[in-house]
Structures are given as C-alpha cells and as structure tokens.
C-alpha cells in the first residue's frame, strides 16, 4: 500500500496520482488530518511538490510525529520538491540537513530539465542511470544546504548544466545566444544562467531507524512528454516503487498526460460545463500571449500571470471527470454543487476581466502606465488567485471543493 499526502500539492498531486495509478499498486490519498488522527500503515509515503510550509501545518505536531514514527518503524518516505523540503530539519526532521536560501529569486524561477550527474553504486538508482549524466525535470527547485559533514546523508544526484528546454521565469534560456547573455550581464548586471544550482545536490537519501527516505528537488514523478529527461525521471520513480513495494511493474516510463484528453467517466453537466468554460479562459489567455504551451500537461505563463493556479484547476477538473461517480462522490457533489457553481461564475467573470486588463496594462506600459495602475491588477489577482506561492482566492475555493472529490 502506498500513501499519498495531498495537502497543498495541486497540480503536482495530480501528476503523482497519474503516475501511481498507472502502476496498479494499491494506494490511498490522505490529508494531514487523516495521518494525525489515524497514523500511517503500508510500505511507502509519497509527498508531491507544493508548499512545504503548508504541508507541515496541515500535518500538525501529531501528524508530523506519525510520519516520523512510520519511517522509524520501517516505512519508506519519498518527497519531491515541496515534499523534499518538508522532510528537512525544521520540518519533519527525517533528514538532518536544512534548506539553503535563494538570494537571487530570478535564479529560483527555473523550470524544465537540468543535466544532473547521477551517483554510481547506489541501489536507489536504476542501473541505466547509475554513474551517468541524466536530464531531470525541475520546477522552481529549492536547494539543500549541504554541510561539510554530511551526517550520513548520501548524495544521489547533483546539478550540472542547463537542459535543452530550460526556462528562467518566462524566458527560454536554452534559446538565448551566449553573446546576448554576456551583453545583458555587462549592461544590466542580469545573470540569467541558473549558476546558483551548479554542483548542488539535486537528490539525497538516508535512513531513520528501520526505515529510509529519499528527497529530490527534481520531479521524478513527471510523466513522459516526448523528451529523454522525462523518461529518465520516470524510470527512476518506477525503480523506487519497485524497491519499496516489491511491485512487478512491467514498463519503465510513465505514459504521457494530457489533462483535457483524459477519459470522461462522470458525465455531470455542471462539471462538464465548468471544464469547457475553463478551457475557454485558457484559450483566451493564450490568444493574449499570457499563457503558452510548455508540454502535454503544462501551460507556461508570463511573469505575474497566475499560470500555476490555471494549470491546477484544469488538472483538478479533468481528473474529477475521470472518476466513476460512486455513491460517496455523488452525495458529496450534491452537497457542494450550488456553492461550486456560484463560485465558478464569480471566478470565470473575474478571471476573464483580469486577463484582458493585464493585456491592456502590458500595452499601456510604455505610453501611459498610470492609466491602469499595477496595484489594481495585483489586488484583483489576489482576490481571484491568492498569492503566487501559497494560493488562496476563488481559485483555491474551487480547488478545495474538487479535491474533496479526489
């Protein structure tokens, strides 16, 4: 049995759900309160990306102690990005290391693939990757603060160089000419290259009591999207499941994921309408140049555009429509339907207005920036989408109602 901690995961939770579901291994999705009240059983706890701070708050002292006890008694913990940060000192404390700060925020906003040097000889690494460079996907990764005395922690992979599809914020770094990057540095002091990650650990592992943990700032649960890196990451992810659960998984790559192409098993007219109307908002944002395709499961976004929340809502709606409407889900949806519809109406109208106003603001930026002050746009965005890092707003209310159905 695999446990998935869901709190504050959003799109990363849906990616992990897709990955685990494909293996056929029994699993259950839990919130921090579930773990605090009932503890953990089974062989493994998987924690997807998202906000480490909010995950820790959701677990509370009792839930955090339940996770530590689960590992100490022989369980396996695997955390990716936010799930990795959760396990560090100052959080769950499974790993004695701390999180290292990011003094240059621009270099934190890195997404796509990075070339990483993978350690050799560890049973936690598949033989096909052992001792070789690998392209591994990252999405705004943190950094481990590696002490001189590693305190029993094994480094499984280190960042080395930019991959072929790397973005820094909304800039496609991989397509930027080297001479222009040097010119920007000389003229403006801008260092777009994410050198702050060079040589830093990307994935680490260790033990606690009878159990073990693996923490990766790379999203190893990322589905294949046609790039070699995604396949290498999913090969590593499936290898971990085989080791922890003794599972017989016949494939070495996670299938591609296109949320809008998932099969529809729950033909509820209100959920279908919301999914269709959300696609309309996404098409509008793309026509305005505010969103753009990154891969099969993710739309990229211009800086300041709440692309993460749009992506999470799309994943939540498409995943929900893919569930069989059993009695429990039907009852829950009946109780939430009216609230969801009213909230979605407000969100749809507000989001359409905001997207158009944001595009107008970009147009006026040089000729008449005072006509549409950015402060107004920020206030509207906050009401609709909350903060970029921690969410909130109407979109968070919609996500919460959909995630109850998960």
Overall average pLDDT of the 350-366 stretch: 93
Q: What is the mean pLDDT of the chain?
A: 91
The answer to whether 84 and 48 have CB atoms below 8 angstroms apart is: no
When pLDDT is cut at 50, 70 and 90, the band that residue 382 belongs to is very high
29 SS3 class: strand
Strand 98-100 and strand 27-30: the pairing is unpaired
Overall average pLDDT of the 372-396 stretch: 88
Give CA torsion, residues 27, 276, 356, 168, to 10 deg.
30
pLDDT at 20: 92
**pLDDT of 227 over the 60 cut:** no
Angle at 65 between CA 50 and CA 215, to 5 degrees: 40
Least confident of 176-180, 308-312, 343-347, 394-398: 176-180
When pLDDT is cut at 50, 70 and 90, the band that residue 268 belongs to is very high
Rounded CA-CA distance 40/68 in Å is 10
When pLDDT is cut at 50, 70 and 90, the band that residue 194 belongs to is confident
Overall average pLDDT of the 336-347 stretch: 97
Let me know if 154 is exposed, middle or buried by CB neighbors in 10 A (0-12, 13-18, 19+).
Answer: middle
Q: Centre a 10 Å sphere on the Cβ of residue 248 and count the other Cβ atoms it contains.
A: 9
Rounded CA-CA distance 385/381 in Å is 6
Overall average pLDDT of the 330-346 stretch: 96
Overall average pLDDT of the 176-186 stretch: 88
Could you tell me the pTM of the whole model? 0.92
Rounded CA-CA distance 131/118 in Å is 5
When pLDDT is cut at 50, 70 and 90, the band that residue 44 belongs to is very high
**pLDDT of 13 over the 90 cut:** yes
**pLDDT of 229 over the 60 cut:** no
Predicted confidence (pLDDT) per residue in 69-88, tens digit? 999 999 999 999 999 999 99
Rounded CA-CA distance 298/258 in Å is 9
Rounded CA-CA distance 329/326 in Å is 6
Half-sphere exposure of 194 (CA within 13 A, CB side): 34
Overall average pLDDT of the 247-269 stretch: 86
More confident residue, 365 or 354: 354
Q: What percent of the chain has pLDDT over 70?
A: 98
**pLDDT of 228 over the 60 cut:** no
pLDDT at 213: 97
The answer to whether 321 and 264 have CB atoms below 8 angstroms apart is: yes
Give CA torsion, residues 169, 173, 174, 180, to 10 deg.
170
Q: What percent of the chain has pLDDT over 90?
A: 66
154 - beta bridge partners? 205
Rounded CA-CA distance 250/238 in Å is 10
DSSP strands (E only) in 141-191: 143-145, 154-162, 167-168
pLDDT at 97: 95
Rounded CA-CA distance 157/87 in Å is 18
pLDDT at 255: 80
Let me know if 184 is exposed, middle or buried by CB neighbors in 10 A (0-12, 13-18, 19+).
Answer: middle
Predicted confidence (pLDDT) per residue in 304-337, tens digit? 999 999 999 999 999 999 998 999 999 999 999 9
CATH class assigned to 2-245: alpha beta
């Amino acid at each position: 049995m695999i446990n998935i901690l869901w709190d504050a995961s959003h799109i990363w939770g849906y990616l992990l759900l897709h990955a685990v579901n494909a293996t056929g291994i029994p699993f259950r999705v839990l919130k921090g309160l579930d773990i605090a009240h009932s503890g953990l059983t089974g062989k493994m706890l998987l924690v997807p990306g998202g906000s480490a701070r909010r995950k820790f708050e959701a677990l509370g002292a009792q839930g955090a102690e339940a996770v530590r006890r689960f590992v100490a008694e022989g369980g396996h913990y695997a955390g990716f990005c936010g799930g990795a940060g959760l396990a560090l000192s100052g959080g769950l404390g499974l790993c004695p290391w701390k999180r290292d700060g990011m003094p240059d925020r621009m270099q934190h906003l890195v997404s796509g693939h990075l070339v990483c040097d993978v350690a050799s000889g560890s049973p936690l690494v598949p033989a096909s990757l052992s001792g070789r460079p690998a392209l591994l996907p990252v999405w705004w990764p943190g950094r481990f603060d590696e002490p001189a005395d590693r305190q029993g922690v094994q480094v499984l992979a280190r960042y080395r160089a930019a991959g072929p599809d790397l973005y820094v914020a909304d800039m496609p770094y991989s397509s930027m000419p080297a001479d222009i990057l040097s010119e920007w540095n000389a003229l403006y002091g801008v260092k777009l290259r994410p050198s702050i990650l060079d040589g830093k650990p990307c994935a680490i592992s260790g033990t606690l009591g009878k159990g073990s943990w693996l923490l990766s700032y790379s999203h190893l649960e990322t589905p294949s999207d046609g790039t070699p890196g995604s396949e290498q990451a999913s090969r590593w992810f499936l290898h971990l499941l085989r080791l922890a659960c003794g599972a017989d998984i016949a494939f070495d790559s996670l299938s591609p994921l296109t949320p809008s192409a998932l099969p529809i098993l729950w033909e509820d007219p209100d959920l279908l309408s919301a999914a269709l109307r959300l696609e309309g908002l996404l098409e509008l944002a793309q026509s305005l140049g505010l969103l753009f395709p990154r891969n099969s499961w993710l739309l990229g976004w211009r800086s300041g555009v709440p692309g993460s929340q749009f992506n999470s809502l799309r994943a939540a709606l498409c995943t929900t429509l893919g569930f069989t409407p059993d009695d429990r889900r039907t009852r829950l949806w009946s109780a939430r339907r009216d609230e969801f519809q009213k909230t979605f109406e407000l969100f749809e109208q507000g989001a359409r207005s905001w997207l158009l106003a944001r595009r107008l603001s970009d147009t006026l930026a040089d000729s008449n920036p005072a006509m549409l002050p950015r402060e107004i746009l920020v206030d509207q965005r906050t009401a609709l989408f909350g903060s970029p890092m921690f969410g909130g707003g109407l979109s968070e209310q919609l996500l919460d109602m959909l995630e109850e159905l998960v």
